[in-house]
Structure 1
Amino acid sequence: MTDPELLTSSYDFTLPDELIATHPVHPRDKAKLLVYNRQTDEINHCHFYDFEKYIPKNCALIFNDTKVIKARLYGHKPSGGKIELLINRPLDANNINVYIRGKVKVDTKIMFDDDLEAIVQELKDDGSRVVNFFEEGNLLRFEDLLPIIEKIGHIPLPPYIQREDNAEDASEYQSVFAREEGAVAAPTASLHFTEEQHKRVCQNHDHAFVTLHVGSGTFKPVEAERITDHPMHSEYYDISDKAKNILDSDKPILSVGTTSTRTVEFYVRHRWMQRGEANLFLHPNNKPLRVNHLLTNFHLPKSTLLMLVSSFVGVEKAQELYAEAIKKKYRFYSYGDAMLII
């Protein structure tokens, strides 16, 4: 008989539509915060501006400083057919993995504003495409593409938000400490920090930054019957020297977000690799080895992110905590409220 914690169906739940957050809270730290203490099995309901009261003593905080790029582009084919393109990740300097809404084949040309063009190089089995970008006929490296899409692109809001991005999203769907461009989804636990609160936390606690460029695979639900049959997506990561020193120490760690957690946990399993591609899948049968405490948002049913949360508390307790959050009308997903597991 299969362990229930390995069955994808164990990670399903019903969420009322009105609890899906479609806009950010103002100010950021006014979001609700559910604090779960594993030692006492107690739940506290508060707000994110109370976060510092619950940071365990002597622990270091690990933040993900990735920056969301304007990865959604609207263009058209020479025939006039409309195309929507979502940049997923660079494969190398010139070849970019993307998702395209609209019919294309190899060598299809797509035209955008400001003389930007893309030419399809490959159709992948997973539904993604590989393209090269050109400006006025010149092949672009990924780093040269970034300032162009910053001007003409759109913030790639997650599909469940079900609205077009607006001027507010350009700043609100970004952490106050975002620095390294490359993500197509925000590390959402980070979105709750105001400038003042983040500065204060960093002054009072040991901390460091890692970079993990969140890809669109983060939203992909697990479709296999057994979670261990799910092909985990990979994302580029980089661990700063300061973060490496903390990870190599015995200091307890509070990881800000699932992306920081996966980066830390991938590193401790591959100690020689300070940067590269991380594809770690954390779940109750593959528990954290280094991260002690987790700050996170509330995630999609049957998602690898909910399974990661369950690796800290077990699937039964995770379902209890989510049921409590629904009962208390917490807001879910990227612009939603937060949970701290200590």
Structure 2
Amino acid sequence: MELLGSYWLRRALARLASLTVYEGQDTRTGMPVMVLVGAKGEPVEAEGSLKVLDRLEDALVLEWPLGAVPLSQYAGVADPDRLAHWVREIAKRLAALEAQGIRYAPRAELVLVKGRSVWLVGPGLEALTGEAASALLELARLLAGPRWEEFPLRDVLARLARGEVGLEALWAPPPEEAPAPEAAKEKEAEARRLPVEVEAAEASAPALPGPPREEPTPSRPRVIRIEEPEDPPFPVVEPRPSRGGRRAVGLVLFLLLLLGVAGAYMGLFRPQGGAARDYPMEFRTDPPTEKALVYVLEAPEGAGLEPGSLLLEAPGRVRFPVPGVYRLRIQVPGREPVDYLLEVPGPPLTIKVR
């Protein structure tokens, strides 16, 4: 890792012409940051964009929301419904930027997400200027991967890239189609014509003599009566006082006491976290022959993992008890340890050793 001022440059996220974007870390606070080296232009302070924390001689330092990850981590594995929400949120931010006269081309490496929240990196910089519609289409196709055909916004994005619709078509409900005027006229003419034809048919039918009609006698209404008999259908047996009544009451109270003790015992020694469910995550190394020790520094509430405990030796697979953001420390023999914020559940994590 390189050191730029007070910031570690952990890894390069994107290289665009003269701009290089790094995932960094503040050496003073340990908080994650994003470092843009060679940035030209002034980033826009807008809703859903990262805030500028520091300005160096040839770099900008942006905030990195705790627990957020680049969209590129979901390349090829994004859930279609979750991806549709992200695409709509990105489109809303792009429309707001276009209203300010700013052209921005989103890239998967430069869009951060956390749950349903979305942040754009560096709108307003020269290297990130581009056509929003085509870039958004390519971003969605990259993330959907093999499930692109079932992505619900696929057709709208294609029409957007061809210029047939605007960005608002991604989140606005489709307009209701009015009935065709010819069909409406036909229905109206049919409604007017039907009574006339029926009357004509009734008038043309000859009256045939027949037997006189008898008026039906009114029938009595059907009534269902449900009455309680005065005498019970079985003999009434009066309970006799028994000497064992007190013993039975005592036995019932004793059984209730045992059940209460058993319930309290199960409540005290029941494992935390509610229903037994885990979240498997795979850790890989590149090259696969390398080994890395992964320790837990911080875990979500209810995980039951002690800070500083060894999680696993990569490559390998581990099951996390609860979802959330875990702060890990990755130690490769002969190299400086690296802290990493891992969102669970998520795609497999590859540890590249150079």
Which range, TM-score by smaller chain?
under 0.3
TM-score (normalizing by structure 1): 0.22
Greater RCO (Cα-Cα under 8 Å, separation 6 or more)? 1
TM-score (normalizing by structure 2): 0.21
Which structure has the greater CA radius of gyration? 2
